[in-house]
Amino acid sequence: MDIGILGAGSWGIALATLLSRRGHNIAMWEFNSADAKMLGEKREHPAKLPGVRIPDFVAITNNVLDVFEHASMMLCVVPSQTLRSTAQLIAAHVPQKKIDSIEGWVIACKGIECTTLKLMNEVLLEEIPQLSSSKIAILSGPTHAEEVSRFIPTVITAASENFHLATLIQKEFSTETFRVYTNNDVTGVELASSVKNIIALAAGICDGLGFGDNTKGALLTRGMVEMVRLGKRIGADEQTFSGLAGMGDLITTCMSKHSRNRRMGELLGTGLSLDEALSKMTMVAEGVETTKSVYHLARKFDIDMPITTEVYKTLFEGKSAQLAVRDLMLRQAKPEKW
């Protein structure tokens, strides 16, 4: 199969490496021309995924037309807040015939658009001409690029309302180190993969403050409550949040040394400002912008999401992490309810 990959960050490179080893022809697009040139010459991203060699037969380009030349499937791996501009670039420069020839658009970025509060599949549907939801799938789960690219056993879910597309991805992406399940809850999988990054920021803040396992265990549990509350309100299947895109990704992102969102929170927990913490990150922590989106969604739907609220205030209102934790602990006493 010919597969195009939009985005050449660590996750894009990991997927390119995995899928090329699976036997697929891969063309990967990088928006930044200097980075595209560097990747083509070094066949490695020394800052984002050091030590992982991009196979020589993976094409790397700065021209978006190149990835559509032969592709029958397109993976969207750009940062979530740039998916709309990427889709607009495609709509403006790629012939409609090429767009129509894509059998499946696989969204592998995680986030909710800040300006519109829309999920990534909704953004894509708005911007890609004549695209239908039956051609969209979400690829999500506990999948750090650092491990997938080194062929460490990983399990993920492919969610689409189109069962044929989900099973096609399952068939074409699965390897002895990369197991794919199918799911039909697009909304739930997208939402879970986005909100868990906020909880990971909070987990990192706990690490930065020097808290222990008791704190993090409680945080993950009550964070899951917030994910389910929001998910049920916008039509997701509650069961999805107990699966790979929910609990699986939540545990991994909150606990792992590879988690950029946990690391971002850890920097904040040591007392750094948002700008100072961002300056120390080499990769995008999607949870920062997603916190804005989910905070405003919670207010829009009048949903109680106290962890999200305190993370938002710490990020964007200058509240100290220590005070945010104190206010969470001293909230009105109540029964444990979901």
Query: Which residues, 6 or more positions from 171, have their beta carbon under 8 angstroms from its beta carbon?
Result: none
Structure-derived torsion over alpha carbons of residues 28, 31, 36, 37, reported in degrees to the nearest 10: 140
Give how far the C-alpha of residue 249 lies from the chain's centroid of Cα atoms, to the nearest Å.
Answer: 10
Half-sphere exposure for 253 (CA within 13 Å, toward CB): 34
Tokens 């490179």, located at residue: 13
Q: Which of 110, 196, 216, 292 is catalytic?
A: 196
* 280 catalytic residue (yes or no): no
The catalytic residues are 196
